[in-house]
C-alpha cells in the first residue's frame, strides 16, 4: 500500500493522483464534465424557483427541499468557475484578481531587510521577538530570515508585508517557551480592523507544543492556537511553509472571530482572496488547513498528515487534513493530499453555524484517512432536525481514496471513502476508491449518501478491493433518507457484495451503467 510521510513533497501530488486515477482523465475535460453535471442538476432547481404557480407534485417537492428560501443563501447563481490552463493546472476564475494584487504588493514595498541585522540569532535559544518587531516595523517591507531556528513570541504582520525564509526545515520559527497556549506563531497585526496584501514563504513554523507539558487540552479554541492565522485579511499568500504540532490548526483562514449564531448567519471580518500553496503540516490538534466565514480561497499542492487530535476529548477527535468549515464560500482545493487523518477532506459546519458552500475539489489523494471525503452539516441529519439553509453546492473532480481505515482519533467512526450528509447539489466525477482486500470493513458501505442529502450525482466511479463491505454505494433510507440521487458509470472490481444498495423510502434514484467484475461468480452477478 502507498505510504506518504511527513516529508512528502506535495508538488508531486498532481502526478500521483493522475497515476492512481482509474482512466487517468484529462483534467480540462473532466472539470468541464463535472460542471455540466452540476449545471444539469441546478437547472432543475432554477426552473422551480422561477415558477409562479406550483403543482401538487412541486409543492410536495418543496416540503422536502425548500429550494426557494435557500437558493439565495447557497449562492446558486455564483459566477466563479474553474479554469484549466494549457499546462493542465486548474485554478478559480478569480485568481487573476489575486495575481494583480501580488504585483501591486511588490510595487508598494520600498524596503528589504534581513532580521539578523536587527539582532536575531537562529540558535534555537535566543528570544528574537524584539528583532522581528523592529524588522517588520509598520510594513511596506520584505523581511528575510536566514537559515536557523529562531525562537520568538507571536509575530504580527501589518499590511503590505512579506516574510520570507530559506525554505522548510532550513528557516524555522519556534514559539517561545513562555508563550500562552492561545498564541499564533504568525498572524496579521489587526484582526478587528483587518489587513491586506500579506505574503509568507519558505519556512517551518514550530508551535512548540512541548512547552505546555502533558495538559489534556492544548488549544484555546476559536481561531487561536495555530501555526498561522489570517483573520480578516484581504489578499494573502502562504507558500512553501510547514506547520508543526499546533494546538489547534496548522493554517487557518478565518474571520475575526468564529460565529455560532445559527444556520444562515456568517461572522464579520472574514478573509478574502487567499492562496495557500505547497504547504506541509502534521501533529495538529484539530485540522491541518481550515477555513471559516471567508471567501475566495485557493488551497493547492499541500500535504497534511498525522494529527494529534489533542484539542478534542480522546476518542472524539474530528481532526481533518483539510476542512472547509462554518460559513466558508468559494473554496478551491486543487491537488492536495492527506493521510492518517479522521477526514481527508471535510466540507461541513457545526449545528449552530452556516455550512460551507460552493466548494470545488480538483484532484485529491487520501491515504488511510478514516473518512476520505466527508461532506456534512452537523445537526441537520435527523428527520426532526431543521433542514440546512446553507449546505449547498459541491463540485468534485478526480478524487482518489486509498484504503480508508479505523482510527483511534474517532473510535466510533466507520471507515468510508465518501460520505454525503445533508448537502444538496453535489456533483462528483472521476472518483477512484481502492480498498485493502485483507481489511475487515465489517459489512459497511464504501460510499454513503445519507441523512437528507439531495441532488447528488456520482459519475465515472471506480471501486475495488472492498471485499468485506456490504455495498460499494449505499443510498440510505428511513425517515431522514437521501433522495434525488444519480449513480452513473460505476465500475467495481473484486469489491463489495452489492454494487448499489438503496434503502427504504428513497423515491428518486437513477442508476446508469454498472459494470461489476470479480474473481467469483457472486461478484459477476451483483445487483444494483
Q: Which residue has the cell 449545528?
A: 351
Task: Give, for all 528 residues of the chain, the pLDDT tens digit.
Answer: 799 999 999 999 999 999 999 988 899 999 999 999 999 986 544 443 343 344 444 444 444 443 333 444 444 445 689 999 999 999 999 999 999 999 999 999 999 999 999 999 999 999 999 999 999 999 999 999 999 999 999 999 999 999 999 999 999 999 999 999 999 999 999 999 999 999 999 999 999 999 998 876 778 888 999 999 999 999 999 999 999 999 999 999 999 999 999 999 999 999 999 999 999 999 999 999 999 999 999 999 999 999 999 998 889 899 999 999 999 999 999 999 999 999 999 999 999 999 999 999 999 999 999 999 999 999 999 999 999 999 999 999 999 999 999 999 999 899 999 999 999 999 999 999 999 999 999 999 999 999 999 999 999 999 999 999 999 999 999 999 999 999 999 999 999 999 999 999 999 999 999 999 975 434 334 445
For position 79, what pLDDT does the model report?
A: 62
For position 46, what pLDDT does the model report?
A: 45
For position 61, what pLDDT does the model report?
A: 42
For position 215, what pLDDT does the model report?
A: 75
Domain 10-62+94-413 has what CATH class? mainly beta
Bridge partners (DSSP) of residue 281 are 243, 304
Q: Which residue has the cell 428527520?
A: 383
Helix (H, G, I), strand (E, B) or coil at 117: helix
Domain ranges of the chain: 10-62+94-413
For position 218, what pLDDT does the model report?
A: 76
Please say whether the beta carbons of 491 and 22 come within 8 A.
yes
Q: How many degrees, rounded to 5, is the angle at CA 75 between CA 73 and CA 79?
A: 165
Q: H or E segment at 111?
A: strand 111-114
Nearest to 527 by CA among 490, 484, 476, 483: 490
Q: Which residue has the cell 459546519?
A: 349
> What would the grid cell of residue 411 be?
473510535
Distance between CA atoms of residues 407 and 423, nearest Å: 25
Q: How buried is 352 (Cβ within 10 angstroms: 0-12 exposed, 13-18 middle, 19+ buried)?
A: middle
Task: Phi first, then psi: give them for residue 505, nearest 5 degrees.
Answer: 90, -10
For position 50, what pLDDT does the model report?
A: 42
For position 42, what pLDDT does the model report?
A: 60
Residue 438 burial (CB count, 10 A): 8
Residue 313 burial (CB count, 10 A): 9
Amino acid at each position: 500500500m502507498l505510504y506518504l510521510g511527513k516529508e512528502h513533497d506535495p508538488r508531486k501530488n498532481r502526478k500521483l493522483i493522475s497515476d492512481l486515477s482509474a482512466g487517468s482523465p484529462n483534467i480540462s475535460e473532466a472539470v468541464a464534465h463535472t460542471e455540466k453535471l452540476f449545471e444539469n442538476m441546478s437547472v432543475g432547481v432554477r426552473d422551480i424557483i422561477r415558477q409562479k404557480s406550483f403543482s401538487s407534485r412541486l409543492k410536495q417537492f418543496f416540503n422536502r427541499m425548500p429550494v426557494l428560501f435557500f437558493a439565495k443563501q447557497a449562492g446558486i447563481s455564483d459566477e466563479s468557475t474553474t479554469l484549466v490552463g494549457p499546462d493542465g493546472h486548474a485554478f478559480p476564475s478569480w485568481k487573476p484578481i489575486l495575481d494583480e494584487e501580488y504585483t501591486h504588493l511588490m510595487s508598494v514595498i520600498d524596503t528589504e531587510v534581513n532580521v539578523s541585522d536587527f539582532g536575531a540569532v537562529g540558535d534555537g535559544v535566543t528570544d528574537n521577538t524584539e528583532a522581528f518587531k523592529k524588522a517588520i516595523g509598520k510594513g511596506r517591507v520584505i523581511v528575510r530570515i536566514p537559515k536557523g531556528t529562531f525562537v520568538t513570541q507571536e509575530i504580527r504582520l501589518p499590511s503590505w508585508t512579506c516574510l520570507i525564509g530559506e525554505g522548510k526545515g532550513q528557516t524555522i520559527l519556534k514559539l517561545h517557551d513562555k508563550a500562552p497556549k492561545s498564541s499564533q506563531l504568525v498572524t496579521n497585526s489587526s484582526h478587528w480592523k483587518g489587513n491586506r496584501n500579506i505574503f509568507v514563504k519558505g519556512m517551518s513554523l514550530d508551535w512548540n507544543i512541548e512547552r505546555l507539558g502533558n495538559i489534556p487540552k492544548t488549544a484555546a479554541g476559536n481561531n487561536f492556537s495555530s501555526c498561522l492565522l489570517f483573520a480578516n485579511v484581504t489578499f494573502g499568500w502562504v507558500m512553501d511553509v510547514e506547520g508543526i504540532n499546533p494546538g489547534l490548526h496548522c493554517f487557518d483562514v478565518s474571520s475575526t472571530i468564529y460565529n455560532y449564531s445559527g444556520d444562515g448567519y456568517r461572522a464579520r471580518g472574514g478573509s478574502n482572496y487567499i492562496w495557500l500553496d505547497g504547504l506541509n503540516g502534521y501533529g495538529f490538534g484539530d485540522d491541518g488547513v481550515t477555513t471559516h466565514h471567508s471567501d475566495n480561497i485557493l488551497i493547492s499542492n499541500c500535504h497534511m498528515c498525522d494529527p494529534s487530535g489533542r484539542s478534542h476529548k480522546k476518542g472524539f477527535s474530528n481532526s481533518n487534513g483539510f476542512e472547509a468549515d462554518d460559513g466558508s464560500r468559494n473554496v478551491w482545493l486543487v491537488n492536495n493530499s492527506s493521510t492518517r487523518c479522521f477526514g481527508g477532506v471535510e466540507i461541513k459546519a457545526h449545528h449552530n453555524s452556516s455550512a460551507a458552500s460552493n466548494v470545488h475539489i480538483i484532484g485529491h489523494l487520501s491515504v488511510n484517512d478514516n473518512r476520505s471525503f466527508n461532506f456534512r452539516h452537523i445537526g441537520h441529519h435527523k428527520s426532526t432536525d431543521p433542514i440546512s439553509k446553507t449546505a449547498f453546492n459541491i463540485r468534485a473532480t478526480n478524487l482518489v481514496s486509498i484504503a480508508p481505515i479505523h482510527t483511534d482519533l474517532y473510535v466510533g467512526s466507520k471507515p468510508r471513502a465518501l460520505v454525503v450528509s445533508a448537502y444538496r447539489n453535489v456533483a462528483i466525477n472521476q472518483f477512484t476508491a481502492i480498498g485493502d482486500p485483507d481489511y475487515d470493513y465489517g459489512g459497511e458501505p464504501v460510499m454513503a449518501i445519507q441523512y437528507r442529502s439531495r441532488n447528488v450525482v456520482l459519475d465515472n466511479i471506480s471501486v475495488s478491493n472492498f471485499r468485506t463491505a456490504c455495498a460499494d454505494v449505499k443510498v440510505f433510507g428511513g425517515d431522514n433518507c437521501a433522495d434525488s440521487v444519480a449513480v452513473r458509470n460505476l465500475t467495481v472490481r473484486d469489491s463489495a457484495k452489492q454494487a448499489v444498495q438503496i434503502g427504504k423510502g428513497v423515491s428518486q434514484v437513477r442508476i446508469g451503467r454498472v459494470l461489476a467484475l470479480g474473481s467469483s461468480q457472486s461478484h459477476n452477478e451483483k445487483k444494483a
